[in-house]
Structure 1
Amino acid sequence: MLNKDLRDQESIRIDNVLKTLHSLVFVPENAFDVHKIEEALKDFGLNIESLNAIAPNDLIVLLERLHLDWNQKEQFADFLVTFSKQNSFDFREKAIAVYNYIQSESKTFSFGIFNKIASAKANL
């Protein structure tokens, strides 16, 4: 268990990685830089190939081990959906698994996440 100061530092680090990932996928497709995404994913012990190969449940376990909070898990799932729209890899099933995990385990129902699940499923 991390103490509060370490948790805060870890949370800030995770937030920065997620901001980087989101900034890299919210650009025009011709400016899409896979190398920079690979670099950012390294902070989570991933790359695009390993992200493609990992099972949804194993991804959730990894996110738990990295101490992502509920909001950070949602942001990571948002990244997966957005990245899938602009790439040959389709990570929407993994994103749906993360969203469902958040809905069931956080003990709080979110209409926002419910709508994100529905949207991701509609585009499969």
Structure 2
Amino acid sequence: MPLSLGLRDEENERINNILNKLMELAYVPEGWLKDEAQPLLTQLGLSYESIDAMTGDELNAHVTKLHFDFANMERLADMLAANPAFKDKAIALYNFIQVESKMFSFDIFNKINALSK
């Protein structure tokens, strides 16, 4: 069922807040902090293990089901890109954004190229 505009804004703000906290954990000098990230991932219906087990298409379907907007999808992909184990998931999500948003982004294109090397 589609969300109304007000509920969609609230949901995007909630997702944005969770992603902000995850981004803080992803970019600390020690790298990915799995134990600290797990409770935040759970709020997004994810876990370290579920992300690892998902295909790129399954991750794309999951974030679509949770009503992520394209900006939050990109932030999640940025966070995944910080962990070498999730590089392929990040690339899949960036590609999904490029296709589904129907707007070409040089920034995302450059992120894909950097991860593909």
> Normalised by the size of structure 1, how large is the TM-score?
0.89
Distance (Å, rounded) in 2 between the aligned partners of 1:102 and 1:19: 19
Q: What aligned pairs does 1:27-106 form with structure 2 within 5 A after superposition?
A: 27-29=28-30, 33-84=33-84, 90-106=85-101
Distance (Å, rounded) in 2 between the aligned partners of 1:120 and 1:17: 24
Q: Deviations over 1:75-104 (max 9, x none)?
A: 0000001122xxxxx111111111111111
Please report the RMSD computed on the Cα atoms of aligned residues, expressed in angstroms. Answer: 1.2
User: Is there any run of 5+ residues in structure 1 with no aligned partner, and where?
Assistant: 85-89
| Per-residue deviation, 1:6 | 0.8
Q: Deviations over 1:8-38 (max 9, x none)?
A: 11011000011011000111107x5321100
> Normalised by the size of structure 2, how large is the TM-score?
0.94
Distance (Å, rounded) in 2 between the aligned partners of 1:93 and 1:24: 20
3-state SS of paired residue (1:28)? coil
Q: Percent identity?
A: 41
Letter in 2 for 1:113: I
Residue 25 of structure 1: aligned partner: 26
Matched residues, number: 116
